[in-house]
A and B are shown apart, each in its own frame.
Chain A
Amino acid sequence: MNNGMNSFEPKIVGFLCNWCSYAGADKAGVAQTPYPSNVNIIKVMCSGRVDPQFVLKAFASGADGVLILACHPGDCHYKEGNYKALQRYKILSRLLKQFDIAEQRLRFDYVSAGEGEKFVEAITSIVDNVKSLGPLSIKGGNNIWEQQH
Chain B
Amino acid sequence: MKTGVYFCNCGSIISDKIDPEKVKEKLKDASYIKSFGLMCSDEGKQFLEVDIKAERPDRIVIAACSPRDHQLTFMNAIEAAGMNPYLMQMVNIREQIAWVVEDKARAVDKTASYIQGAIKRVNLQKPLNIKEIDAEISVLIIGAGPAGLKAASAIAEAGRKVILVDKSPAIGGKPVLYEKIFPNMECGPCMLEPILDDVLFGRYADNIETLTISEVTEVTGYYGNFTVKIKQSPRYVNLKTCIGCGECVEPCPQKAIAVPFTGAMPNSVSIDDSACLRFKGKECSLCKEACPIPDVIDYDDKELIHERRVGAIIIAIGAGLYDCSRFPNLGFGLLKDVYTADQFERLLSSTGPTEGTLETSDGGEPESISIIHCVGSLDNNHNGYCSEVCCQYAFKFNQMIKEKLPQAKIYHIYKELVLTGKDGFILYDKAKVSSDTKFIRYKDIKDINIIDQDAKILISIEGIDVKIKSDMAVLCPSIVPVEESKQIGKMLDTTLDRFGFFEELHGRCDSAQSKIKGVYLAGTCQSPMDIAACMNQGMAAASYILSGIVEGKKLEIEPITAVIDKERCSGCKVCQLVCPYKAIAFDEKDGISIVNELLCHGCGTCAAACPIGVIEVNHFTTEEIFAEIEGLLA
Contacts and interface: CB of A to CB of B under 8 A. Distances in A.
A84 B578 contact: yes
A104 to B, nearest CB: 19
Contacts of B628: 42
Interface size bracket, B side = 35 or more
Contact of B617 (A45, A61, A79): A45
A63 B633 contact: yes
Given A25-B95, A61-B629, A84 B605 contact: yes
Interface stretch (B182-190, B198-206, B618-626): B618-626
A44 interface: yes
A51 B633 contact: no
Contacts of B617: 45, 49
Contacts of A80: 580, 605
Given A13-B629, A35-B100, A81 B107 contact: no
A62 B633 contact: yes
Interface string A65-105: 00000000000011111001000100000000000000000
A26 B90 CA distance: 14
B622 to A, nearest CB: 7
B366 interface: no
A127 interface: no
B454 interface: no
Nearest to B507: A74
A106 interface: no
Interface of B: prevailing SS:
helix
Nearest to B562: A49
A42 B632 contact: yes
A58 B100 CA distance: 23
A45 B629 contact: no
Contact of A79 (B67, B113, B580, B604): B580
9 contacts: A29-B92, A30-B95, A37-B100, A40-B114, A41-B96, A51-B625, A57-B625, A78-B581, A84-B608
Given A40-B117, A45-B560, 10 more contacts: A29-B92, A29-B96, A37-B100, A37-B101, A42-B628, A48-B605, A51-B607, A51-B625, A61-B630, A84-B578
B117 to A, nearest CB: 7
Given A30-B95, A45-B620, A49-B617, A57 B100 contact: no
Given A13-B633, A40-B117, A84-B578, A49 B603 contact: yes
Interface string B5-38: 0000000000000000000000000000000000
A13 B632 CA distance: 8
B632 A32 contact: no
Contacts of A35: 100
Contact of B604 (A26, A29, A44, A61): A44
A125 to B, nearest CB: 16
A60 B605 CA distance: 23
Given A22-B68, A46-B603, A81-B580, A40 B633 contact: yes
Interface of A: 11, 13, 22-23, 25-26, 28-30, 32-35, 37, 40-46, 48-54, 57-58, 61-63, 77-81, 84, 88, 149
Interface string B96-118: 11011111001100100110010
Given A45-B620, A57-B629, A84-B578, A25 B96 contact: yes
B115 to A, nearest CB: 11
Interface in B560-579: 560, 578
Given A40-B110, A42-B632, A54-B625, A33 B605 contact: no
Interface in B575-634: 578, 580-581, 601-605, 607-609, 613, 617, 620, 622, 625-626, 628-630, 632-633
Contacts of B92: 26, 29, 41
B97 to A, nearest CB: 7
A78 B561 CA distance: 13
B254 interface: no
B560 A29 contact: no
B143 to A, nearest CB: 25
B434 interface: no
A22 B417 CA distance: 41
A43 B608 contact: no
